[in-house]
């Protein structure tokens, strides 16, 4: 787990700002779900055979004997909230988004943390592929707002309960004579859920996968029509996509559409040689039409996706992409002596109400030290409050670039500053 230090906060703020703005435009409402849920929620929703449930969940035994889990992903918790709060009776589709920390007990390595953050969008109550396309467009737009280039959408269909069982048999028949060429995990996955062997990153499993039968050749008519329509929506939206017939997601609840969004970067080897394309996955998601029912609700179609914030932050820093611009103070307040120091707190609050961003150094008495800090902050004006000014009901206004000073009535200082700052923009 890791601390997010002040220097990194503007990156997180930039991502969350872009998310909020785009969510609001597309009519998504924010939801916040608990960090802790009953473990059964993830066992039923995410799937007993998934890596998340098998190896990566932080579980907690309560004094009352309940087993809870720190949330490893958002979707099951949001589905639980949809069912629990009767959102089926709301106008459909229900469009929700959130962001915050998640927890997985992964082996620590570069860029992976046991506490990490995601942004997440979910839509309930609409089965049209237009919703899948909109989810893809939203995440593509968020990344574009953050100044990412060279984005590509990898997309596939993994069918549904009508056609996927048959494809699983076809895939298992292909894998069985080749199982000695698979890693240990995939030998086990082959028996439990052969689809998940397609998600393995092991090099020898990748070689086996390249000749495997493709699920798009075995889709039922409904899934085929849904996927064809999705691709047409993506074409109309001018979203660059690539059909990956072996793309699957590592979670059990997905149906039909699955997708990932990658960003590419060309890497030039130090000692010459061919340029290498470095690909980083930033977003993953798809449709999950059965999950609401699996978790105790009605038969409600749904679609959603999530993006890893820490990975986005790391790439923003690596590529020099701008974080949020947090405005610094344009005015500094200096005080000399005990009585002015006591009056400063009230004056600061008055200036805050006037929406004037102020820097100060309350613990310092030396005017030279305070003016040096004002210089370092790059403010345009410094207010100087001493004993004489307190008695006269005035304050000194110093223009920092010229050193010019004039005395202003205390009750007029906020209006005077607002006017000067407006004129100097």
Distances from the Cα of 45 to the Cαs of 36, 193, 194, 421, in angstroms? Answer: 15, 15, 19, 55
**What pTM did the predictor assign?**
0.88
Which of these, 349, 285, 288, lies nearest to 142 by C-alpha position?
A: 285
Q: For residue 48, what pLDDT is reported?
A: 61
Percent above pLDDT 90 for the chain: 67
CB-based burial label for 265 (10 Å; 0-12, 13-18, 19+): middle
What is the enclosing helix (H) or strand (E) of 22?
helix 9-25
Identify the DSSP state of 267: E
Is 309:119 a contact under the CB 8 Å cutoff? yes
**Which residue did the predictor score with more confidence, 269 or 12?**
12
Q: Render pLDDT for 328-348 as a digit per residue (tens, 0 to 9).
A: 899 999 999 888 888 888 899
- Which position has the higher pLDDT, 315 or 326? 315
Q: What is the mean pLDDT of the chain?
A: 90
Give CA–CA dist 161/169, Å, rounded: 13
Q: Give the integer Cα–Cα distance in Å for 158 and 249.
A: 9
Please check the confidence at residue 189 and state whether its pLDDT lies above 90: no
- Is it the case that residue 291 has pLDDT exceeding 90? yes
Residue 103: closest CA among 16, 9, 41, 36: 36
Buried b (16+ CB within 10 A) or exposed e, 331-353: bbbbbbeeebeebbeebeeebee
d(CA 11, CA 40): 35
What is the chain's Cα-based Rg? 28
Q: Using CB atoms within 10 Å of the CB of residue 197, give its burial: 0 to 12 exposed, 13 to 18 middle, 19+ buried.
A: buried
Q: Where are the domains of the chain?
A: 9-163+219-319, 331-416
Mean pLDDT check: name the lowest of 53-67, 82-96, 222-236, 260-274: 260-274
Q: Which residues are paired to 382 by β-bridges?
A: 332, 398
- Please check whether the domain covering 9-163+219-319 is classified as CATH 3.20.190.10: no
Residue position matching structure tokens 């076809």: 170
Would you say residue 152 has pLDDT above 70? yes
Top CATH class, 331-416: alpha beta
**CA pair distance 213, 203, nearest whole angstrom:** 18
Q: What mean pLDDT comes out for the span 248-264?
A: 87
Model confidence at 266: pLDDT above 80: no
| Per-residue confidence (pLDDT) for residue 249, from 0 to 100 | 79
pLDDT of 105 above 90 = no
Highest-scoring range by mean pLDDT, 128-132, 320-324, 382-386: 128-132
- Strands 276-287 and 255-267 turn out to be antiparallel
CB atoms within 10 A of CB 111: 12
């Amino acid at each position: 787990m890791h601390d997010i230090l002040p220097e990194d906060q503007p990156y997180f703020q930039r991502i969350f700002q872009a998310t909020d703005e785009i969510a609001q435009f597309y009519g998504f409402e924010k939801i916040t779900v608990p960090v802790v849920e009953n473990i059964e929620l993830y066992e039923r929703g995410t799937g007993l055979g998934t890596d998340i449930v098998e190896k990566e969940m932080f579980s907690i035994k309560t004094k009352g004997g309940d087993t809870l889990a720190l949330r490893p992903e958002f979707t099951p918790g949001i589905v639980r909230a949809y069912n629990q709060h009767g959102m089926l009776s709301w106008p459909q589709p229900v469009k929700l988004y959130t962001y915050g920390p998640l927890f997985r007990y992964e082996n620590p390595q570069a860029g992976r943390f046991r506490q990490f953050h995601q942004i997440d969008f979910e839509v309930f109550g609409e089965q049209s592929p237009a919703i899948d396309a909109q989810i893809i467009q939203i995440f593509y737009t968020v990344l574009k707002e953050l100044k990412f280039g060279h984005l590509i959408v990898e997309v596939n269909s993994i069918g549904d309960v009508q056609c996927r069982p048959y494809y699983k048999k076809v895939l298992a028949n292909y894998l069985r004579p080749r199982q000695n060429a698979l890693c240990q995990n995939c030998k086990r996955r082959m028996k439990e859920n052969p689809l998940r062997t397609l998600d393995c990153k092991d090099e020898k499993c990748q070689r086996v996968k390249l000749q495997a039968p493709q699920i798009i050749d075995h889709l039922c008519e409904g899934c085929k029509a849904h996927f064809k329509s999705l691709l047409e929506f993506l074409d109309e939206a001018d979203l660059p996509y690539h059909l990956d017939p072996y793309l699957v997601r590592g979670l059990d609840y997905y149906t039909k559409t699955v997708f990932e969004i990658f960003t590419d970067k060309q890497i030039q080897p130090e000692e010459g040689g061919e340029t290498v394309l470095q690909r980083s996955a930033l977003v993953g998601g798809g449709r999950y039409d059965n999950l609401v029912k699996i978790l105790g609700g009605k038969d409600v179609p749904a679609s959603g996706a999530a993006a890893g914030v820490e990975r986005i932050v790391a790439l923003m820093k690596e590529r020099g992409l701008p974080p949020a611009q947090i405005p610094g103070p344009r005015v500094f307040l200096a005080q000399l002596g005990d009585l002015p120091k006591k009056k400063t707190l009230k004056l600061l609050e008055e200036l805050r109400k006037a929406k004037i961003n102020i820097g100060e150094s309350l613990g310092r008495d030396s005017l030279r030290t305070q003016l040096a800090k004002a210089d370092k902050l790059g403010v345009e004006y410094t207010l100087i409050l001493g004993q004489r000014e307190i008695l006269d009901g005035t304050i000194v206004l110093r223009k920092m670039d010229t050193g010019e000073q004039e005395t202003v009535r205390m009750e007029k200082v906020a209006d005077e500053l607002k006017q000067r700052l407006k004129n100097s923009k």
